[in-house]
Amino acid sequence: MEEKQFAGILNGAVPGEPVKKDENLRRGNWGNQIEFVLTSVGYAVGLGNVWRFPYLCYRNGGGAFMLPYFIMLVFCGIPLFFLELSFGQFASQGCLGVWKISPMFKGVGYGMMVVSTYIGIYYNVVICIAFYYFFMSMTNLLPWTYCNNPWNTPDCSGVVGSGYQINNSLANATTSLVAGVSEVVNRTKRTSPSEEYWKHYVLNISDDIGNFGEVRLPILGCLAVSWCVVFLCLIRGVKSSGKVVYFTATFPYVVLTILFIRGITLDGAINGIKYYLTPQWQKVLDAKVWGDAASQIFYSLGCAWGGLITMASYNKFHNNCFRDSIIISITNCATSVYAGFVIFSILGFMAHNLNVPVSEVADHGPGLAFVAYPEALTLLPISPLWSLLFFFMLILLGLGTQFCLLETLVTAIVDEIGTDWIIRNKTVVTLSVAVVGFLLGVPLTTQAGIYWLLLMDNYAASFSLVVISCIMCICIMYIYGHRNYFRDVEMMLGFPPPLFFKVCWRFISPLIISFILIFTVIQYKPITYNDYVYPGWSLAIGFAMALSSVVCIPVYALYKISRSPGATFRERLKAACRAHPKWGPALLEHRTGHYAPMASEDTVEARPFKEKEELKEEQKEEEEEEKKEEISLTIQGSNGSTNTHNNPNPSA
């Protein structure tokens, strides 16, 4: 028994075993605990840490954003992170199967799938743009270094002197960069070469969200490459993705450190860092700042996406997910702050040399990472090499999250159908989801694609995440019952949840989320991109996307109530809320206490994920043991010999 518990703590890694066997043979498990932690870190630490967190700080007054961000992290982010991990690990099911806890709320799982679908579509478009920059960095001179290109405008002014001779050697280039920085023209409206490269060449942006223009074929090709990479890494599910994350989850920190060291050595970097850390307290009273903080917590940690439940469902039953949740959450938020230092040191350098405030040196929006970072890279010695490394890092950060988004959808589909055929052909499901995701992402590769990307980012993955998390918390704590869930967690981990998490799950987290949602609705402001104001019909589409995930909850609840047994509405409601008989640990050996099967004939029902072949083998072994006992009794009766092993009581 102690050996089994020790094996569970190590996520099933039994010392001395040459081959680690899966605990759940039907679904599979992580190879070891490290694979789960690295995958979860890769899932949480994504593009949002680089292009969304600094962007939200930049938009919400620098350091003023830190206060609501860390409050949301402590009282909402970490508790909900632990709640979702324990939820998925206990049931060993995806974001749909776990709602056997209260079948009426299965619509929450469908809402998670809708959110993951929206995010997966536009998230891979950002990855494909990183692929594009990666390929365009394979040159002697980065194309966004100077203003002498066909796509540049008269307002273009770079931090690297335009009089610099392009054909000089790279060694001479590094010595003359500092002198070239001072050659900046004062204009009423200055744009950098990297900004114009982003707008006029990469995006070739149109003047309206309804003016799609043409498909940007280079971006479309990179989108195909991105989806192919995601599919190949998930071709064997968690078995293949668990190996890939050893590299994708660790290498980005190497590049970030290099860029941080380079950034803080630049002139004016301290001004950008001050802007990053100094709070503008008047903005703390703005509900939108708090709404953005909550949205960023959910966006970055991955709460309410369904990914955390899915990844934890492949854990072994006794894995210490409480410890994992603390490690992953702290690592994620530390990375966000760390990336912010890198971004704002570069912004401070640019503002210093252009004699403008830090808030005016770059556009708002996800393009910040494709404007500020590329310009910073032109200042580094051997800039194409650093550009390759940086955009490769962006690709790895994005892929780590995209793996989990795709696996969330695939696991939900496979678990819901649950037939032997679809489990054997899970690769076909993965390929189908990838193809559909690619086709749905094609409109985002047009000239109006950036408008749609921002629309999806602001509406599809914003307040709907807050609603889903709040309802999930209420369902588990108040419908299923907090005492029942605390007992489940204690049975799984060997200790009850800490008091702080109990209080947050029951009271603090739902209250904070509810108030933020109310204030966000009251102080709602329509989305804009630079000087462009979105038309009303596009905002209606944005709200439709946001509501499409939330509306799944009441629609499925009404459907489940109508199909539940009972003479009155109240009886049907109780039946729909009551936990399903199959709710609980997936494997029979973990179904103890009130989850233990009541009769031997219910063994197959109580263990839905146990292989039928294993049950047949166990029955055969029992029959063979009975035959051996009968033979031993016959031998004793004939010649009087004893067999204490098979029959310890001959007189019987």
Residue list, annotated binding site: 42, 44-45, 49, 300, 332, 397
Q: CA angle 367-371-374, nearest 5°?
A: 130
Within 10 angstroms of residue 420's Cβ, the number of other Cβ atoms is 10
d(C-alpha 399, C-alpha 616), whole Å: 42
Tally of helices (H runs) and strands (E runs) in the chain = 30, 2
Q: Which residues are annotated as a binding site for Na(+)?
A: 42, 44-45, 49, 300, 332, 397
DSSP code of residue 528? E
d(C-alpha 137, C-alpha 202), whole Å: 13
d(C-alpha 550, C-alpha 75), whole Å: 23
Closest CA to 202 of 396, 370, 346, 54: 370
What is the DSSP annotation of 99-163?
GGGSGGGHHHHHHHHHHHHHHHHHHHHHHHHHHHHHHHT-SSS-TTS-S-STT--TTB--SS-TT
Query: Could you give the angle at which helices 509-522 and 287-301 cross, rounded to 10 degrees?
Result: 130
Within 10 angstroms of residue 649's Cβ, the number of other Cβ atoms is 6
Structure tokens, 494:
């060997």
Backbone CA torsion sign across 410, 415, 419, 424: positive
Structure tokens, 525:
């402001």
Q: What is the SS3 assignment for 50?
A: helix
